[in-house]
Amino acid sequence: MNIRLAGHDYKYAVEQILLSVFPEERADFRSTDATENLALSTLEVKDGYGVSISKIRYKGKAAEAVVESPSPLPVEKILRDRELQRLVKLSFYRASVRITGNSPPWGAVTGIRPVKLATRYIAENSALPSEAADFLVREYHVAPSRGKLCSYAAEASFRAMEQLNERDVSLYIAIPFCPSRCAYCSFVSQSVEKAFKLVTPYMNALKMEIEQTGKLIKKLGLNVKTVYIGGGTPTSLSAEMLSDLMETTAKNIDLRSCCEYTVEAGRPDTITEDRLRAIKRGGATRISINPQSMRDCVLEVIGRNHTGSDIEKSFALARKLGFDVINMDLIAGLPSDTVEGFKYSLNRVLELGPENITVHTLSIKRGSRLINGGYEIPGGRTVGAMLDYGFDTLYENNFKPYYLYKQKFTPGGYENTGWSRAGTDSLYNICIMEELHSIISVGAGGVTKLVDATTGRIERIFNKKYPREYIDSIDSTVAAKSLISDYRHKGFTKRQLTADDRKHF
């Protein structure tokens, strides 16, 4: 769609609404030729108030929407910019929906972190979570089911805030290897078989970065609150390598403040007793076993080298060895899957009894084999039916949403949601999604995020993405970590909750 902007340059805001309401379209901001599909987004400030007008002509239909700020614009630049973008998004959304007649589940909410809108509303208005849900439905046209998701996740976010102190940080350790590449995957990971020669030098480089990062954490007086070893598939490593990695971490990182230590066991075809014992000895308190589907026909299509029965055996082994908090991932919308198939997978997972279940929506990304691969991918209505069943069934089984995020290019514009039984929220997942404190990352593709909660400012330090690049640049990678010392680290500044507040969280 040809899009013209006047009075503003909020391209991202407009593009995200376009993708949500017109998923088959892509934004073209450069063309000046009049076309059949044309949109004009204008923004003007009059007497301290903002006014946004959107006019759209699409396939013979035309619509217009006007949105004005209800009160004078804030003076502070960040708040003023946020309000102006809100006006642009709302006017473009309303005009778009008048043409299509279809309301996406997340309405005019863009970006990957919708829960932030709910937590901000609660904090600024001393509101209840249910009131935040009503606000999202009323002001952003969010579907009531999604408003409810946000309200529960906002409660979990406030519970997490209560656990954090100013000097707390989390540590992420990246293992970018998998036994094979799934059809939907776009992560920077390599097959262990193809990249076998890289594994040992990669682990040597990683241990060097962990050692130097530990010295920096100690120097700055930071407390590591959570550790997360992710990938890729960390259990692609041998039991000996896992032991060595976790011993190196414990030797160089002070873990006395650590309350949560997670390892993604991930692929059941990599889960063995010696690997699980190594993870347990290393101090992990949580693991993930991620089937994605329990249907063998779907697993075969996406390139998984295991069966539903293998998943059940892996879970039973983990329980036998003493893992009492286990997460399991499912994906709604996998190639060749059906609503009945998704129901079957969720019900089988529930029978196993994990403490956490994460329900992802398939995201069709450029780096995956799904692009131009001839796969039969369920549409938005089918995915919506899968998720609706998931919501009802998980609520009935005493699971509550505790974190969520959105991604581009999902059928129907749906989300990824982590569900947990009472007392088993993953603090790391909440912290990284809601940006509650700094995350220090080591390994290939790691992104260190330094959060100053007082100002809202976030600084990022990027490691090289690919294992070979990471190995070759380890000296400069370690040197770049020194930038953490230059950052005016404030950590997380707690919002003081009143006694009345506390009874709701």
Q: Do the domain assignments include residue 325?
A: yes
Q: Count CB-CB contacts under 10 A for residue 243.
A: 18
Q: Do the domain assignments include residue 205?
A: yes
Whether residue 174 is found in the same domain as residue 75: no
Q: Do the domain assignments include residue 71?
A: yes
**Total number of domains in the chain:** 2
Whether residue 386 is found in the same domain as residue 478: yes
> Domain boundary at 81, 102, 123, which?
102
Structure tokens at 177: 């290897």
Whether residue 61 is found in the same domain as residue 168: no
How many secondary structure helices (H) and strands (E) does the chain include? 17, 17
Identify the domain containing residue 409 by its residue range.
Answer: 160-486
| Cα dihedral across residues 320, 322, 325, 330: positive or negative | negative
How deeply is 76 buried, as exposed, middle or buried, from its count of CB atoms within 10 A (0-12, 13-18, 19+)? exposed
Whether residue 229 is found in the same domain as residue 341: yes
At 172, which amino acid appears?
Y
Per-residue pLDDT, averaged over 226-255, amounts to: 97
Q: Do the domain assignments include residue 498?
A: no
The C-alpha atoms of residue 394 and residue 442 are separated, in whole angstroms, by 34
- Spatial neighbors of 70 by CB under 8 A, at least 6 apart, are none
- Listed residue (212, 229, 216) closest to 177, CA to CA: 229
* Confidence at residue 495, expressed as pLDDT on a 0 to 100 scale: 37
Whether residue 256 is found in the same domain as residue 340: yes
Whether residue 323 is found in the same domain as residue 433: yes
Whether residue 351 is found in the same domain as residue 202: yes
* Confidence at residue 308, expressed as pLDDT on a 0 to 100 scale: 95
* Confidence at residue 408, expressed as pLDDT on a 0 to 100 scale: 82
H or E stretch including 28? none
| Model pTM score | 0.91
H or E stretch including 185? none
The C-alpha atoms of residue 18 and residue 413 are separated, in whole angstroms, by 11
- The better pLDDT of the pair 500, 295 is held by 295
* Confidence at residue 490, expressed as pLDDT on a 0 to 100 scale: 44
pLDDT tops 50 at residue 492: no
Q: Do the domain assignments include residue 453?
A: yes
Whether residue 314 is found in the same domain as residue 190: yes
Whether residue 98 is found in the same domain as residue 182: no
The answer to whether the beta carbons of residues 331 and 292 sit under 8 Å apart is yes
* Confidence at residue 483, expressed as pLDDT on a 0 to 100 scale: 84
Residue with tokens 């100002």: 455
* Confidence at residue 24, expressed as pLDDT on a 0 to 100 scale: 86
Q: Do the domain assignments include residue 423?
A: yes
Contacts 24+ apart (CB under 8 A), 101-104: 102/21, 103/141, 103/143, 104/20, 104/21, 104/412, 104/413
**Range from 182-186, 417-421, 453-457 carrying the lowest mean pLDDT:** 182-186
The answer to whether the beta carbons of residues 413 and 97 sit under 8 Å apart is no
Q: Provide φ and ψ at 43, rounded to 5°.
A: -140, 135
* Confidence at residue 28, expressed as pLDDT on a 0 to 100 scale: 93
Our CA angle for 288, 291, 294, nearest 5°, is 145
Whether residue 83 is found in the same domain as residue 222: no
What mean pLDDT value characterizes the chain?
Answer: 91
Model confidence band, residue 55 (pLDDT cutoffs 50, 70, 90): very high
> Domain boundary at 53, 81, 102, which?
102
| Cα dihedral across residues 310, 328, 355, 274: positive or negative | positive
Q: Is the peptide bond before 107 cis (omega within 30 degrees of 0)?
A: no
The answer to whether the beta carbons of residues 163 and 427 sit under 8 Å apart is yes
- Listed residue (166, 182, 135, 103) closest to 360, CA to CA: 182
DSSP state of 173: E
CA 207 to chain centre: 27
- Start-to-end CA distance of the chain, whole Å, equals 44
pLDDT tops 60 at residue 126: yes
> Domain boundary at 56, 79, 102, which?
102
Q: Do the domain assignments include residue 32?
A: yes
Q: Count CB-CB contacts under 10 A for residue 286.
A: 22
Domain of 193, CATH number, reads 3.80.30.20
137-149 pLDDT, tens digit per residue, is 999 999 999 999 9
Q: Do the domain assignments include residue 297?
A: yes
Whether residue 52 is found in the same domain as residue 188: no
Whether residue 223 is found in the same domain as residue 75: no
